[in-house]
Structure 1
Amino acid sequence: MAVAILLDTNAASVPIYRYLVDAGHDVHVVGDKPDNALAKSADNYIKLDYSNVEAVTALVERLDADFLIPGCNDLSYETCAAISATRRFPGIDPVETVRILGNKQDFRQYAEAVGIPAPRQISEADARSAGAVIVKPADAYSGRGITALMAPSAADLAAAINQAKAFSRSGSCLIEEFVQGQLYSHSAFLGPDGIVTDFFVEEYGSVNPYAVDTSYVVPAFDPALANGVRAAIEKIARDLNLTAGLIHTQFIVDGDKFWIIEITRRCPGDLYSQLIASSTGFNYAENYTRPFLGEGFDGRDQAYRPVLRHTISVRTPQIFEGLQFRRAADIEMFVPLALTGEHIAASPFGRIGILFARADDAAALNTLLHTALNGELYAVLGQDRKTRS
Structure 2
Amino acid sequence: MAVAILLDTNAASVPIYRYLVDSGHETYVVGDKPDNALAKSADNYIKLDYSNVEAVTALVERVGADFLIPGCNDLSYETCAAINAKHPFPGIDPTETVRILGNKQDFRRYAEAAGVPAPRRIAEGDALAAGPVIVKPAEAFSGRGVTALPAPSATDLAAAIEHAKAFSRNGACLIEEFVEGQLYSHSAFLGPDGILTDFFVEEHGSVNPFAVDTSYVVPAFDPALANKVRASIEKIAQDLQLTAGLIHTQFIVDRERFWIIEITRRCPGDLYSQLIASSTGFNYAENYARPFLGEGFDGSPQSYRPILRHTISLRAPQVFSSLQFHRPIDIEMFVSLALTGDRIAASPFGRIGILFARAADGAALNTLMRATLDGELYSVLG
Would the TM-score normalized by the shorter structure come out above 0.5? yes
User: How far does residue 299 in structure 1 lie from its aligned partner after superposition?
Assistant: 2.1
What number of residue pairs does the alignment pair up? 382
Alpha-carbon distance in structure 2 between the residues aligned to 1:8 and 1:246: 17
Alpha-carbon distance in structure 2 between the residues aligned to 1:131 and 1:267: 34
Please say if 1:180 is aligned against 2:180: yes
Q: Show the counterpart of 2:110.
A: 110
Q: How does 1:301-312 map to 2 (within 5 A)?
A: 301-312=301-312
Give the SS at the match of 1:128.
Answer: helix
* AA aligned opposite 2:95: V
Q: Deviations over 1:235-282 (max 9, x none)?
A: 000000000000000000000000000000000000000000000000
Q: How does 1:91-102 map to 2 (within 5 A)?
A: 91-102=91-102
Q: Show the counterpart of 1:139.
A: 139
Alpha-carbon distance in structure 1 between the residues aligned to 2:295 and 2:182: 35
Please say if 1:222 is aligned against 2:222: yes
Q: Deviations over 1:123-168 (max 9, x none)?
A: 0000000000000000011100000001100000000000000000
Alpha-carbon distance in structure 2 between the residues aligned to 1:169 and 1:331: 39
For the 8 Å contact 2:320–2:339, the answer to whether it is kept is yes
For the 8 Å contact 2:197–2:300, the answer to whether it is kept is no
Q: Show the counterpart of 1:171.
A: 171
| TM-align CA RMSD | 0.4
Q: Show the counterpart of 1:339.
A: 339
Give the SS at the match of 1:351.
Answer: coil
Give the SS at the match of 2:320.
Answer: strand
Give the SS at the match of 2:12.
Answer: helix
Q: Unpaired segments of 5 or more residues in structure 2?
A: none
Alpha-carbon distance in structure 1 between the residues aligned to 2:78 and 2:66: 18
Give the SS at the match of 1:33.
Answer: coil
Q: Show the counterpart of 1:357.
A: 357
Q: How does 1:171-210 map to 2 (within 5 A)?
A: 171-210=171-210
For the 8 Å contact 2:251–2:260, the answer to whether it is kept is yes
Q: Show the counterpart of 1:293.
A: 293
Q: Deviations over 1:106-134 (max 9, x none)?
A: 00000000100000000000000000000
> Which stretches of structure 1, 4 residues or more, deviate above 2 A after TM superposition?
none
Identity fraction in percent: 83
Q: Unpaired segments of 5 or more residues in structure 1?
A: 383-389
* AA aligned opposite 1:309: R
Q: How does 1:262-341 map to 2 (within 5 A)?
A: 262-341=262-341
Alpha-carbon distance in structure 1 between the residues aligned to 2:233 and 2:2: 33
For the 8 Å contact 2:182–2:254, the answer to whether it is kept is yes
* AA aligned opposite 1:275: L
User: How far does residue 302 in structure 1 lie from its aligned partner after superposition?
Assistant: 1.2
User: How far does residue 328 in structure 1 lie from its aligned partner after superposition?
Assistant: 0.5
Alpha-carbon distance in structure 2 between the residues aligned to 1:301 and 1:279: 9
Q: Show the counterpart of 2:158.
A: 158
Please say if 1:48 is aligned against 2:55: no
Q: How does 1:71-86 map to 2 (within 5 A)?
A: 71-86=71-86
Alpha-carbon distance in structure 2 between the residues aligned to 1:250 and 1:321: 33
Q: Deviations over 1:38-67 (max 9, x none)?
A: 000000000000000000000000001000
Alpha-carbon distance in structure 2 between the residues aligned to 1:49 and 1:257: 41
Q: Show the counterpart of 2:62.
A: 62
Q: Deviations over 1:314-347 (max 9, x none)?
A: 0000100010011110000000000100010000
* AA aligned opposite 1:87: H
Give the SS at the match of 1:355.
Answer: strand
User: How far does residue 300 in structure 1 lie from its aligned partner after superposition?
Assistant: 2.9
Q: Show the counterpart of 1:387.
A: none
* AA aligned opposite 2:124: E
Give the SS at the match of 1:259.
Answer: strand
* AA aligned opposite 2:70: P
Alpha-carbon distance in structure 2 between the residues aligned to 1:202 and 1:161: 29
Alpha-carbon distance in structure 2 between the residues aligned to 1:318 and 1:101: 36
Give the SS at the match of 1:162.
Answer: helix
